[in-house]
Chains A and B, each alone.
Chain A
Protein backbone atom coordinates (compact mmCIF):
# COMPACT_ATOMS: atom_id res chain seq x y z
CA UNK A 1 0.00 0.00 0.00
CA UNK A 2 1.38 3.39 -0.90
CA UNK A 3 2.00 5.98 1.75
CA UNK A 4 -0.62 8.32 0.28
CA UNK A 5 -3.35 5.68 0.32
CA UNK A 6 -2.46 4.70 3.88
CA UNK A 7 -2.67 8.30 4.99
CA UNK A 8 -6.04 8.71 3.23
CA UNK A 9 -7.54 5.61 4.91
CA UNK A 10 -6.17 6.70 8.28
CA UNK A 11 -7.79 10.11 8.00
CA UNK A 12 -11.09 8.67 6.79
CA UNK A 13 -11.11 6.50 9.93
CA UNK A 14 -10.15 9.45 12.13
CA UNK A 15 -12.90 11.66 10.73
CA UNK A 16 -15.49 8.86 10.94
CA UNK A 17 -14.59 8.36 14.60
CA UNK A 18 -14.88 12.08 15.26
CA UNK A 19 -18.31 12.20 13.63
CA UNK A 20 -19.54 9.28 15.76
CA UNK A 21 -18.12 10.90 18.89
CA UNK A 22 -19.85 14.22 18.18
CA UNK A 23 -23.23 13.18 16.70
CA UNK A 24 -25.09 12.68 20.02
CA UNK A 25 -24.06 16.10 21.32
CA UNK A 26 -24.62 17.78 17.97
CA UNK A 27 -28.12 16.41 17.77
CA UNK A 28 -28.78 17.38 21.40
CA UNK A 29 -27.94 21.02 20.66
CA UNK A 30 -29.85 21.06 17.38
CA UNK A 31 -33.01 19.42 18.77
CA UNK A 32 -33.04 21.81 21.72
CA UNK A 33 -33.85 24.62 19.26
CA UNK A 34 -36.61 22.70 17.44
CA UNK A 35 -40.31 23.48 17.75
CA UNK A 36 -42.29 21.11 20.01
CA UNK A 37 -42.80 17.81 18.21
CA UNK A 38 -40.30 18.55 15.46
CA UNK A 39 -37.75 16.04 16.80
CA UNK A 40 -40.34 13.26 16.66
CA UNK A 41 -40.74 13.03 12.91
CA UNK A 42 -39.76 10.48 10.34
CA UNK A 43 -37.32 10.79 8.68
CA UNK A 44 -35.52 12.53 11.59
CA UNK A 45 -34.66 16.19 11.18
CA UNK A 46 -31.04 17.16 11.60
CA UNK A 47 -31.51 20.93 11.89
CA UNK A 48 -34.49 22.92 13.22
CA UNK A 49 -36.70 24.47 10.50
CA UNK A 50 -37.36 27.59 12.60
CA UNK A 51 -34.97 27.73 15.57
CA UNK A 52 -36.74 28.67 18.79
CA UNK A 53 -35.67 29.45 22.34
CA UNK A 54 -39.02 28.44 23.80
CA UNK A 55 -37.65 25.39 25.64
CA UNK A 56 -34.92 27.37 27.33
CA UNK A 57 -37.54 29.90 28.39
CA UNK A 58 -39.67 27.12 29.86
CA UNK A 59 -36.70 25.61 31.67
CA UNK A 60 -35.54 28.82 33.30
CA UNK A 61 -39.05 30.16 33.78
CA UNK A 62 -41.65 27.61 34.84
CA UNK A 63 -39.26 24.77 35.68
CA UNK A 64 -36.81 26.95 37.64
CA UNK A 65 -33.70 25.25 36.29
CA UNK A 66 -31.60 28.24 37.34
CA UNK A 67 -32.00 27.21 40.97
CA UNK A 68 -30.65 23.72 40.26
CA UNK A 69 -27.78 25.21 38.26
CA UNK A 70 -26.92 27.39 41.27
CA UNK A 71 -27.03 24.32 43.56
CA UNK A 72 -24.71 22.48 41.18
CA UNK A 73 -22.34 25.43 41.09
CA UNK A 74 -22.23 25.70 44.89
CA UNK A 75 -21.59 21.98 45.34
CA UNK A 76 -18.94 21.86 42.60
CA UNK A 77 -17.03 24.99 43.67
CA UNK A 78 -17.13 24.31 47.41
CA UNK A 79 -16.26 20.66 46.87
CA UNK A 80 -13.32 21.57 44.65
CA UNK A 81 -11.96 24.25 46.97
CA UNK A 82 -12.01 22.00 50.03
CA UNK A 83 -10.59 19.08 48.04
CA UNK A 84 -7.62 21.19 46.91
CA UNK A 85 -6.79 22.30 50.45
CA UNK A 86 -7.09 18.82 51.96
CA UNK A 87 -5.26 16.90 49.21
CA UNK A 88 -2.44 19.43 48.77
CA UNK A 89 -1.60 19.25 52.48
CA UNK A 90 -1.81 15.46 52.63
CA UNK A 91 -0.16 14.76 49.28
CA UNK A 92 2.80 17.00 50.13
CA UNK A 93 3.17 15.47 53.59
CA UNK A 94 3.07 11.91 52.23
CA UNK A 95 5.73 12.83 49.66
CA UNK A 96 8.12 14.98 51.62
CA UNK A 97 7.63 15.13 55.37
CA UNK A 98 9.24 12.37 57.43
CA UNK A 99 6.90 11.11 60.11
CA UNK A 100 6.44 7.70 61.69
CA UNK A 101 3.80 5.49 60.06
CA UNK A 102 3.78 7.52 56.84
CA UNK A 103 4.34 4.80 54.27
CA UNK A 104 2.11 2.25 55.95
CA UNK A 105 -0.73 4.77 56.12
CA UNK A 106 -0.32 5.65 52.47
CA UNK A 107 -0.36 1.99 51.39
CA UNK A 108 -3.55 1.52 53.37
CA UNK A 109 -5.14 4.42 51.46
CA UNK A 110 -4.07 2.97 48.11
CA UNK A 111 -5.56 -0.38 49.07
CA UNK A 112 -8.88 1.30 49.80
CA UNK A 113 -9.10 2.35 46.14
CA UNK A 114 -10.48 -1.07 45.17
CA UNK A 115 -13.53 -0.62 47.41
CA UNK A 116 -16.47 0.56 45.29
CA UNK A 117 -17.84 3.84 46.67
CA UNK A 118 -21.33 2.33 46.87
CA UNK A 119 -20.22 0.08 49.73
CA UNK A 120 -19.94 3.13 51.97
CA UNK A 121 -23.13 4.84 50.83
CA UNK A 122 -25.75 3.13 53.02
CA UNK A 123 -24.00 3.71 56.37
CA UNK A 124 -22.83 7.13 55.14
CA UNK A 125 -26.44 8.12 54.56
CA UNK A 126 -27.38 7.01 58.09
CA UNK A 127 -24.39 8.94 59.46
CA UNK A 128 -25.44 12.06 57.54
CA UNK A 129 -28.90 11.66 59.00
CA UNK A 130 -27.52 11.54 62.53
CA UNK A 131 -25.39 14.62 61.83
CA UNK A 132 -28.34 16.49 60.30
CA UNK A 133 -26.52 16.78 56.97
CA UNK A 134 -29.19 15.20 54.75
CA UNK A 135 -30.50 17.83 52.31
CA UNK A 136 -27.54 20.12 52.91
CA UNK A 137 -24.81 21.21 50.50
CA UNK A 138 -22.21 20.00 52.99
CA UNK A 139 -23.75 16.54 52.93
CA UNK A 140 -23.45 16.45 49.16
CA UNK A 141 -19.86 17.73 49.23
CA UNK A 142 -18.31 15.62 52.00
CA UNK A 143 -17.51 12.48 49.96
CA UNK A 144 -15.66 14.66 47.40
CA UNK A 145 -13.54 16.51 49.95
CA UNK A 146 -10.69 14.00 50.35
CA UNK A 147 -10.40 11.87 47.21
CA UNK A 148 -7.64 9.29 47.60
CA UNK A 149 -6.62 9.54 43.95
CA UNK A 150 -6.18 13.31 44.45
CA UNK A 151 -3.80 12.73 47.38
CA UNK A 152 -1.98 10.24 45.15
CA UNK A 153 -1.69 12.76 42.29
CA UNK A 154 -0.31 15.51 44.53
CA UNK A 155 2.12 13.08 46.18
CA UNK A 156 3.48 11.99 42.78
CA UNK A 157 4.03 15.58 41.76
CA UNK A 158 5.39 16.84 45.09
CA UNK A 159 8.00 14.07 45.03
CA UNK A 160 10.05 16.18 42.65
CA UNK A 161 10.54 19.04 45.12
CA UNK A 162 14.25 19.03 46.09
CA UNK A 163 14.79 18.18 49.77
CA UNK A 164 17.60 20.73 49.95
CA UNK A 165 15.15 23.49 49.18
CA UNK A 166 12.96 22.49 52.14
CA UNK A 167 15.91 21.93 54.47
CA UNK A 168 17.39 25.33 53.60
CA UNK A 169 14.11 26.98 54.50
CA UNK A 170 14.07 25.07 57.80
CA UNK A 171 17.60 26.26 58.60
CA UNK A 172 16.38 29.79 57.97
CA UNK A 173 13.82 29.18 60.68
CA UNK A 174 10.71 28.91 58.50
CA UNK A 175 7.83 26.99 60.06
CA UNK A 176 6.45 23.91 58.27
CA UNK A 177 3.23 25.80 57.52
CA UNK A 178 5.21 28.69 56.08
CA UNK A 179 7.20 26.28 53.91
CA UNK A 180 3.97 24.75 52.61
CA UNK A 181 2.48 28.17 51.88
CA UNK A 182 5.41 29.91 50.22
CA UNK A 183 7.56 27.12 48.76
CA UNK A 184 5.43 24.03 48.18
CA UNK A 185 2.18 25.54 46.92
CA UNK A 186 3.78 27.52 44.06
CA UNK A 187 5.71 24.43 42.94
CA UNK A 188 2.73 22.07 42.95
CA UNK A 189 0.36 24.63 41.39
CA UNK A 190 0.23 22.81 38.01
CA UNK A 191 -1.01 19.56 39.53
CA UNK A 192 -3.52 21.49 41.61
CA UNK A 193 -4.93 23.06 38.44
CA UNK A 194 -5.34 19.60 36.93
CA UNK A 195 -6.91 18.28 40.11
CA UNK A 196 -9.22 21.29 40.29
CA UNK A 197 -10.59 20.57 36.80
CA UNK A 198 -10.96 16.87 37.63
CA UNK A 199 -12.88 17.58 40.81
CA UNK A 200 -14.98 20.36 39.33
CA UNK A 201 -16.17 18.10 36.52
CA UNK A 202 -16.63 15.07 38.79
CA UNK A 203 -18.73 16.91 41.37
CA UNK A 204 -20.80 18.68 38.70
CA UNK A 205 -21.52 15.39 36.91
CA UNK A 206 -22.01 13.25 40.02
CA UNK A 207 -25.41 11.62 40.25
CA UNK A 208 -25.86 8.75 42.68
CA UNK A 209 -24.77 10.39 45.93
CA UNK A 210 -26.63 13.68 45.35
CA UNK A 211 -29.70 11.62 44.39
CA UNK A 212 -29.47 9.85 47.74
CA UNK A 213 -28.60 12.71 50.06
CA UNK A 214 -30.59 15.54 48.43
CA UNK A 215 -34.23 14.47 48.59
CA UNK A 216 -35.54 18.03 48.97
CA UNK A 217 -36.26 19.44 45.52
CA UNK A 218 -34.95 22.87 46.51
CA UNK A 219 -31.46 21.41 46.97
CA UNK A 220 -31.31 19.25 43.83
CA UNK A 221 -28.30 19.53 41.55
CA UNK A 222 -28.79 19.66 37.77
CA UNK A 223 -28.29 15.93 37.09
CA UNK A 224 -30.79 14.98 39.81
CA UNK A 225 -33.31 17.53 38.51
CA UNK A 226 -32.78 16.42 34.91
CA UNK A 227 -33.33 12.75 35.77
CA UNK A 228 -36.55 13.68 37.51
CA UNK A 229 -37.70 15.92 34.63
CA UNK A 230 -36.94 13.20 32.10
CA UNK A 231 -39.43 10.99 33.90
CA UNK A 232 -42.20 13.61 33.92
CA UNK A 233 -41.54 15.10 30.48
CA UNK A 234 -40.49 11.97 28.60
CA UNK A 235 -42.63 13.00 25.60
CA UNK A 236 -41.16 16.52 25.34
CA UNK A 237 -38.04 15.55 23.41
CA UNK A 238 -36.98 19.09 22.54
CA UNK A 239 -37.44 20.32 26.12
CA UNK A 240 -35.34 17.44 27.45
CA UNK A 241 -32.60 18.21 24.92
CA UNK A 242 -32.52 21.81 26.11
CA UNK A 243 -32.27 20.55 29.70
CA UNK A 244 -29.39 18.28 28.72
CA UNK A 245 -27.62 21.20 27.02
CA UNK A 246 -27.92 23.35 30.15
CA UNK A 247 -26.62 20.49 32.30
CA UNK A 248 -23.63 19.51 30.21
CA UNK A 249 -22.61 22.74 28.46
CA UNK A 250 -20.86 24.31 31.48
CA UNK A 251 -18.56 21.31 31.96
CA UNK A 252 -17.90 21.08 28.23
CA UNK A 253 -16.89 24.75 28.20
CA UNK A 254 -14.58 24.31 31.20
CA UNK A 255 -13.03 21.28 29.54
CA UNK A 256 -12.50 22.93 26.15
CA UNK A 257 -10.85 25.99 27.72
CA UNK A 258 -8.64 24.04 30.12
CA UNK A 259 -8.27 20.72 28.26
CA UNK A 260 -4.49 21.03 28.07
CA UNK A 261 -4.15 20.60 31.85
CA UNK A 262 -6.78 17.91 32.03
CA UNK A 263 -5.43 15.70 29.26
CA UNK A 264 -1.82 16.09 30.41
CA UNK A 265 -2.88 15.24 33.95
CA UNK A 266 -4.44 11.93 32.94
CA UNK A 267 -1.52 10.98 30.71
CA UNK A 268 1.13 11.90 33.28
CA UNK A 269 -0.71 10.10 36.08
CA UNK A 270 -1.11 6.94 34.05
CA UNK A 271 2.55 6.71 33.10
CA UNK A 272 3.91 7.29 36.58
CA UNK A 273 1.20 5.28 38.26
Chain B
Protein backbone atom coordinates (compact mmCIF):
# COMPACT_ATOMS: atom_id res chain seq x y z
CA UNK B 1 0.00 0.00 0.00
CA UNK B 2 3.04 2.30 0.19
CA UNK B 3 2.72 4.81 -2.57
CA UNK B 4 4.99 7.55 -3.76
CA UNK B 5 4.77 10.69 -1.64
CA UNK B 6 1.97 12.94 -2.78
CA UNK B 7 2.29 16.35 -4.34
CA UNK B 8 2.81 19.47 -2.31
CA UNK B 9 -0.81 20.44 -2.93
CA UNK B 10 -1.97 17.11 -1.52
CA UNK B 11 0.21 17.54 1.58
CA UNK B 12 -1.16 21.04 2.18
CA UNK B 13 -4.72 19.81 1.69
CA UNK B 14 -4.08 16.99 4.18
CA UNK B 15 -3.17 19.43 6.91
CA UNK B 16 -6.09 21.72 6.05
CA UNK B 17 -8.49 18.78 6.24
CA UNK B 18 -7.31 17.61 9.65
CA UNK B 19 -6.89 21.16 10.99
CA UNK B 20 -10.46 21.65 12.29
CA UNK B 21 -10.39 18.32 14.15
CA UNK B 22 -6.89 18.84 15.55
CA UNK B 23 -7.70 22.41 16.61
CA UNK B 24 -10.88 21.35 18.40
CA UNK B 25 -9.23 18.35 20.03
CA UNK B 26 -6.13 20.34 20.97
CA UNK B 27 -7.89 23.37 22.41
CA UNK B 28 -10.87 21.68 24.04
CA UNK B 29 -9.33 18.36 25.03
CA UNK B 30 -5.51 18.30 24.85
CA UNK B 31 -4.87 21.58 26.66
CA UNK B 32 -7.53 20.89 29.34
CA UNK B 33 -6.03 17.45 30.03
CA UNK B 34 -2.57 18.97 30.50
CA UNK B 35 -4.08 21.79 32.53
CA UNK B 36 -5.75 19.23 34.81
CA UNK B 37 -2.31 17.99 35.85
CA UNK B 38 -1.16 21.56 36.58
CA UNK B 39 -4.42 22.35 38.38
CA UNK B 40 -3.93 19.34 40.65
CA UNK B 41 -0.76 20.96 42.04
CA UNK B 42 -2.59 24.18 43.05
CA UNK B 43 -5.13 25.28 45.65
CA UNK B 44 -7.53 26.53 42.93
CA UNK B 45 -10.90 27.18 44.64
CA UNK B 46 -13.97 29.43 44.63
CA UNK B 47 -11.88 32.54 45.30
CA UNK B 48 -9.55 31.72 42.43
CA UNK B 49 -12.50 31.69 40.01
CA UNK B 50 -13.12 35.33 40.96
CA UNK B 51 -9.49 36.36 41.12
CA UNK B 52 -6.78 34.21 39.56
CA UNK B 53 -4.07 35.95 41.62
CA UNK B 54 -5.09 34.00 44.71
CA UNK B 55 -4.03 30.67 43.19
CA UNK B 56 -0.98 29.20 44.88
CA UNK B 57 1.22 26.29 43.91
CA UNK B 58 0.91 23.64 46.59
CA UNK B 59 2.98 20.82 45.14
CA UNK B 60 1.61 17.44 46.09
CA UNK B 61 -0.58 18.98 48.80
CA UNK B 62 -3.88 17.93 47.18
CA UNK B 63 -2.67 14.35 46.77
CA UNK B 64 -1.53 14.22 50.39
CA UNK B 65 -4.92 15.57 51.47
CA UNK B 66 -6.69 12.90 49.42
CA UNK B 67 -4.69 10.14 51.10
CA UNK B 68 -5.91 11.43 54.45
CA UNK B 69 -9.51 11.83 53.32
CA UNK B 70 -11.59 8.76 54.25
CA UNK B 71 -14.26 9.70 51.68
CA UNK B 72 -11.66 9.45 48.91
CA UNK B 73 -10.77 5.92 50.02
CA UNK B 74 -14.46 5.03 50.16
CA UNK B 75 -14.95 6.38 46.64
CA UNK B 76 -11.92 4.47 45.40
CA UNK B 77 -13.18 1.27 47.01
CA UNK B 78 -16.69 1.74 45.58
CA UNK B 79 -15.29 2.41 42.12
CA UNK B 80 -13.12 -0.70 42.26
CA UNK B 81 -16.11 -2.70 43.56
CA UNK B 82 -18.19 -1.57 40.60
CA UNK B 83 -15.37 -2.19 38.09
CA UNK B 84 -14.16 -5.55 39.43
CA UNK B 85 -17.57 -7.10 40.16
CA UNK B 86 -19.72 -5.29 37.61
CA UNK B 87 -17.15 -5.54 34.79
CA UNK B 88 -16.71 -9.33 34.68
CA UNK B 89 -20.43 -9.84 35.36
CA UNK B 90 -21.31 -7.57 32.46
CA UNK B 91 -18.85 -9.38 30.13
CA UNK B 92 -20.30 -12.74 31.20
CA UNK B 93 -23.87 -11.63 30.51
CA UNK B 94 -22.82 -10.12 27.17
CA UNK B 95 -21.07 -13.31 26.10
CA UNK B 96 -24.03 -15.50 27.16
CA UNK B 97 -26.44 -13.28 25.27
CA UNK B 98 -24.16 -13.36 22.21
CA UNK B 99 -24.01 -17.17 22.30
CA UNK B 100 -27.82 -17.31 22.58
CA UNK B 101 -28.62 -14.93 19.72
CA UNK B 102 -25.90 -16.45 17.58
CA UNK B 103 -26.87 -20.10 18.22
CA UNK B 104 -27.33 -22.14 15.07
CA UNK B 105 -30.82 -23.28 16.10
CA UNK B 106 -32.06 -19.80 17.07
CA UNK B 107 -34.86 -18.25 15.06
CA UNK B 108 -35.54 -14.54 14.58
CA UNK B 109 -31.95 -13.75 15.57
CA UNK B 110 -32.22 -10.17 14.37
CA UNK B 111 -35.30 -9.51 16.50
CA UNK B 112 -33.70 -10.80 19.70
CA UNK B 113 -30.49 -8.95 18.93
CA UNK B 114 -32.41 -5.70 18.58
CA UNK B 115 -34.43 -6.30 21.76
CA UNK B 116 -31.29 -7.06 23.77
CA UNK B 117 -29.62 -3.99 22.38
CA UNK B 118 -32.50 -1.61 23.12
CA UNK B 119 -31.45 -0.72 26.71
CA UNK B 120 -28.12 0.55 25.36
CA UNK B 121 -29.72 3.37 23.39
CA UNK B 122 -32.09 4.52 26.12
CA UNK B 123 -31.26 7.70 28.01
CA UNK B 124 -29.27 6.76 31.10
CA UNK B 125 -30.85 9.40 33.32
CA UNK B 126 -34.36 8.31 32.31
CA UNK B 127 -33.79 4.61 32.97
CA UNK B 128 -32.00 5.39 36.23
CA UNK B 129 -35.18 7.20 37.31
CA UNK B 130 -37.24 4.18 36.25
CA UNK B 131 -35.02 1.71 38.10
CA UNK B 132 -35.24 3.81 41.24
CA UNK B 133 -38.94 2.92 41.33
CA UNK B 134 -38.39 -0.70 40.28
CA UNK B 135 -36.12 -0.96 43.36
CA UNK B 136 -38.74 0.57 45.69
CA UNK B 137 -38.78 -1.64 48.82
CA UNK B 138 -42.61 -1.79 49.15
CA UNK B 139 -44.07 -1.11 45.71
CA UNK B 140 -41.22 -2.00 43.35
CA UNK B 141 -41.64 -4.73 40.76
CA UNK B 142 -38.32 -6.33 41.71
CA UNK B 143 -39.19 -7.03 45.33
CA UNK B 144 -42.64 -8.19 44.22
CA UNK B 145 -41.07 -10.67 41.80
CA UNK B 146 -38.58 -11.87 44.39
CA UNK B 147 -41.44 -12.14 46.91
CA UNK B 148 -43.18 -14.57 44.55
CA UNK B 149 -40.04 -16.70 44.74
CA UNK B 150 -40.14 -16.54 48.54
CA UNK B 151 -37.34 -14.02 48.94
CA UNK B 152 -37.93 -11.37 51.60
CA UNK B 153 -38.08 -7.64 51.08
CA UNK B 154 -34.77 -5.93 50.30
CA UNK B 155 -34.26 -2.18 50.64
CA UNK B 156 -32.14 -2.05 47.48
CA UNK B 157 -31.15 1.60 47.41
CA UNK B 158 -31.58 2.33 51.12
CA UNK B 159 -29.30 -0.34 52.52
CA UNK B 160 -25.57 0.33 52.15
CA UNK B 161 -24.91 -3.38 51.62
CA UNK B 162 -27.32 -3.59 48.67
CA UNK B 163 -26.97 -0.17 47.03
CA UNK B 164 -23.87 -0.99 44.96
CA UNK B 165 -25.16 -4.42 43.85
CA UNK B 166 -28.38 -2.65 42.81
CA UNK B 167 -26.43 -0.16 40.70
CA UNK B 168 -24.37 -3.00 39.20
CA UNK B 169 -27.51 -4.91 38.17
CA UNK B 170 -29.01 -1.81 36.59
CA UNK B 171 -25.74 -1.01 34.76
CA UNK B 172 -25.43 -4.58 33.46
CA UNK B 173 -29.00 -4.40 32.15
CA UNK B 174 -28.27 -1.07 30.47
CA UNK B 175 -24.92 -1.98 28.91
CA UNK B 176 -24.71 -5.71 28.13
CA UNK B 177 -26.18 -5.28 24.63
CA UNK B 178 -23.21 -3.28 23.42
CA UNK B 179 -20.58 -5.89 24.27
CA UNK B 180 -22.99 -8.57 23.08
CA UNK B 181 -22.83 -7.10 19.58
CA UNK B 182 -19.04 -7.04 19.67
CA UNK B 183 -19.04 -10.68 20.76
CA UNK B 184 -21.52 -11.61 18.01
CA UNK B 185 -19.20 -9.98 15.47
CA UNK B 186 -16.29 -11.93 16.96
CA UNK B 187 -18.25 -15.21 16.92
CA UNK B 188 -19.16 -14.76 13.29
CA UNK B 189 -15.48 -14.47 12.52
CA UNK B 190 -14.67 -17.88 14.03
CA UNK B 191 -14.15 -20.16 11.00
CA UNK B 192 -16.92 -22.77 10.80
CA UNK B 193 -14.38 -25.39 9.64
CA UNK B 194 -12.67 -25.25 13.04
CA UNK B 195 -15.92 -26.24 14.75
CA UNK B 196 -16.62 -28.95 12.20
CA UNK B 197 -13.13 -30.40 12.54
CA UNK B 198 -13.41 -30.42 16.34
CA UNK B 199 -16.84 -32.04 16.15
CA UNK B 200 -15.49 -34.74 13.83
CA UNK B 201 -12.77 -35.42 16.41
CA UNK B 202 -15.53 -36.07 18.93
CA UNK B 203 -15.23 -32.84 20.95
CA UNK B 204 -18.28 -32.05 23.10
CA UNK B 205 -20.09 -28.72 22.83
CA UNK B 206 -18.30 -27.47 25.97
CA UNK B 207 -14.90 -28.61 24.69
CA UNK B 208 -15.53 -26.87 21.40
CA UNK B 209 -16.51 -23.71 23.25
CA UNK B 210 -13.47 -23.90 25.54
CA UNK B 211 -10.86 -24.82 22.93
CA UNK B 212 -12.18 -23.33 19.69
CA UNK B 213 -14.48 -20.41 20.47
CA UNK B 214 -12.70 -18.85 23.46
CA UNK B 215 -9.21 -18.76 21.89
CA UNK B 216 -10.64 -17.35 18.67
CA UNK B 217 -12.39 -14.64 20.69
CA UNK B 218 -9.18 -13.52 22.46
CA UNK B 219 -8.89 -10.20 20.59
CA UNK B 220 -12.58 -9.56 21.23
CA UNK B 221 -12.09 -10.17 24.96
CA UNK B 222 -9.31 -7.59 24.97
CA UNK B 223 -11.42 -4.99 23.19
CA UNK B 224 -14.44 -5.63 25.40
CA UNK B 225 -12.31 -5.73 28.56
CA UNK B 226 -10.58 -2.44 27.86
CA UNK B 227 -13.77 -0.64 26.79
CA UNK B 228 -15.68 -1.94 29.81
CA UNK B 229 -12.93 -1.02 32.25
CA UNK B 230 -12.59 2.51 30.93
CA UNK B 231 -16.36 2.94 31.03
CA UNK B 232 -16.79 1.45 34.51
CA UNK B 233 -14.30 3.79 36.14
CA UNK B 234 -16.42 6.70 34.90
CA UNK B 235 -19.56 5.66 36.81
CA UNK B 236 -21.44 8.85 37.60
CA UNK B 237 -25.02 9.26 36.37
CA UNK B 238 -26.47 6.15 38.02
CA UNK B 239 -25.45 7.08 41.58
CA UNK B 240 -26.11 10.77 40.91
CA UNK B 241 -29.73 10.06 39.98
CA UNK B 242 -30.51 6.97 42.05
CA UNK B 243 -28.71 7.43 45.38
CA UNK B 244 -26.81 10.76 45.36
CA UNK B 245 -23.82 8.66 46.44
CA UNK B 246 -25.54 7.27 49.55
CA UNK B 247 -26.62 5.69 51.74
CA UNK B 248 -23.62 6.28 53.98
CA UNK B 249 -21.48 7.08 50.91
CA UNK B 250 -21.86 3.46 49.77
CA UNK B 251 -22.29 4.50 46.13
CA UNK B 252 -20.02 7.55 46.01
CA UNK B 253 -17.68 6.90 43.08
CA UNK B 254 -14.52 8.74 42.11
CA UNK B 255 -16.25 10.71 39.37
CA UNK B 256 -19.15 11.59 41.68
CA UNK B 257 -16.64 12.81 44.28
CA UNK B 258 -14.80 14.71 41.55
CA UNK B 259 -18.06 16.38 40.57
CA UNK B 260 -18.94 17.28 44.16
CA UNK B 261 -15.49 18.67 44.98
CA UNK B 262 -15.08 20.49 41.68
CA UNK B 263 -18.52 21.75 40.78
CA UNK B 264 -20.43 21.85 44.06
CA UNK B 265 -17.71 23.09 46.41
CA UNK B 266 -15.47 24.54 43.66
CA UNK B 267 -12.36 22.93 45.16
CA UNK B 268 -10.96 22.47 41.69
CA UNK B 269 -7.40 21.70 42.75
CA UNK B 270 -8.59 18.76 44.83
CA UNK B 271 -10.99 17.63 42.10
CA UNK B 272 -8.19 17.76 39.53
CA UNK B 273 -6.04 15.55 41.76
CA UNK B 274 -8.91 13.02 41.84
CA UNK B 275 -9.11 13.12 38.04
CA UNK B 276 -5.37 12.46 37.74
CA UNK B 277 -5.63 9.47 40.08
CA UNK B 278 -8.58 8.22 38.00
CA UNK B 279 -6.52 8.59 34.83
CA UNK B 280 -3.58 6.67 36.32
CA UNK B 281 -5.85 3.83 37.45
CA UNK B 282 -7.52 3.54 34.03
CA UNK B 283 -4.11 3.59 32.36
CA UNK B 284 -2.78 0.88 34.68
CA UNK B 285 -5.95 -1.21 34.20
CA UNK B 286 -5.66 -0.97 30.40
CA UNK B 287 -1.95 -1.82 30.41
CA UNK B 288 -2.55 -4.77 32.75
CA UNK B 289 -5.23 -6.24 30.48
CA UNK B 290 -3.07 -5.88 27.37
CA UNK B 291 -0.21 -7.63 29.18
CA UNK B 292 -2.48 -10.44 30.47
CA UNK B 293 -3.84 -11.01 26.98
CA UNK B 294 -0.34 -11.12 25.50
CA UNK B 295 0.74 -13.67 28.09
CA UNK B 296 -2.37 -15.76 27.45
CA UNK B 297 -1.74 -15.60 23.72
CA UNK B 298 1.92 -16.67 23.88
Could you count the A-B residue pairs with CB atoms below 8 Å apart for me: how many are there? 293
Cross-chain contact A21 with B173 (CB below 8 angstroms): yes
A 172-217 contacts with B by CB, 8 A: 176-177, 180, 201, 204-205, 207-208, 212
| From A94, A259, A266, residue with most partner B Cβ within 10 Å | A266
Interface majority SS (helix, strand, loop, mixed), chain B: helix
Cross-chain contact A247 with B259 (CB below 8 angstroms): no
Cross-chain contact A97 with B13 (CB below 8 angstroms): yes
Could you tell me the distance between the alpha carbons of A40 and B140 in the complex, rounded to whole angstroms?
Answer: 8
B 22-36 contacts with A by CB, 8 A: 22, 24-25, 27-33, 35-36
| From A3, A7, A123, A124, residue with most partner B Cβ within 10 Å | A123
Cross-chain contact A7 with B129 (CB below 8 angstroms): no
Could you tell me the distance between the alpha carbons of A224 and B173 in the complex, rounded to whole angstroms?
Answer: 22
With an 8 A cutoff between CB atoms, is B97 at the interface? Answer: yes
Could you tell me the distance between the alpha carbons of A180 and B18 in the complex, rounded to whole angstroms?
Answer: 13
Cross-chain contact B121 with A123 (CB below 8 angstroms): no
Interface majority SS (helix, strand, loop, mixed), chain A: helix
Q: Mark B237-250, 1 if CB is under 8 A from A, else 0.
A: 10011000000000
A 127-143 contacts with B by CB, 8 A: 127, 129, 142-143
Could you tell me the distance between the alpha carbons of A13 and B123 in the complex, rounded to whole angstroms?
Answer: 26
With an 8 A cutoff between CB atoms, is A114 at the interface? Answer: yes
Q: Mark B162-189, 1 if CB is under 8 A from A, else 0.
A: 0000000000010001100110111001
* 11 A-B pairs whose Cβ atoms sit less than 8 Å apart in the complex: A23-B141, A24-B134, A27-B130, A118-B236, A180-B17, A222-B123, A226-B129, A240-B133, A248-B127, A251-B121, A263-B181
A120 to chain B, nearest CB (A): 4
Closest to B108 in A: A14
Chain A residues closer than 8 Å to B206, beta-carbon distance: none
Cross-chain contact B271 with A122 (CB below 8 angstroms): yes
Q: Mark B111-141, 1 if CB is under 8 A from A, else 0.
A: 0111111110111111101111110101111
**Which 10 pairs between the two chains have the least Cβ-Cβ distance?**
A99-B14, A176-B13, A98-B6, A97-B14, A123-B35, A93-B17, A90-B21, A120-B32, A123-B32, A244-B126
With an 8 A cutoff between CB atoms, is B106 at the interface? Answer: yes
Cross-chain contact B28 with A142 (CB below 8 angstroms): yes
Interface size class of A (residues with CB under 8 A): 35 or more
Could you tell me the distance between the alpha carbons of A13 and B103 in the complex, rounded to whole angstroms?
Answer: 12
Could you tell me the distance between the alpha carbons of A31 and B115 in the complex, rounded to whole angstroms?
Answer: 21
With an 8 A cutoff between CB atoms, is B212 at the interface? Answer: no
With an 8 A cutoff between CB atoms, is B276 at the interface? Answer: yes
With an 8 A cutoff between CB atoms, is B272 at the interface? Answer: yes
Chain A residues closer than 8 Å to B118, beta-carbon distance: 21-22, 25, 252, 255
Known interface pairs A115-B279, A227-B241; A248-B123 also in contact (CB < 8 Å): yes
With an 8 A cutoff between CB atoms, is A104 at the interface? Answer: no
Cross-chain contact B6 with A97 (CB below 8 angstroms): yes
Cross-chain contact B6 with A248 (CB below 8 angstroms): no
Known interface pairs A123-B31, A263-B113; A226-B126 also in contact (CB < 8 Å): yes
Cross-chain contact A14 with B125 (CB below 8 angstroms): no
Cross-chain contact A146 with B141 (CB below 8 angstroms): no
With an 8 A cutoff between CB atoms, is B149 at the interface? Answer: no
Cross-chain contact A212 with B263 (CB below 8 angstroms): yes
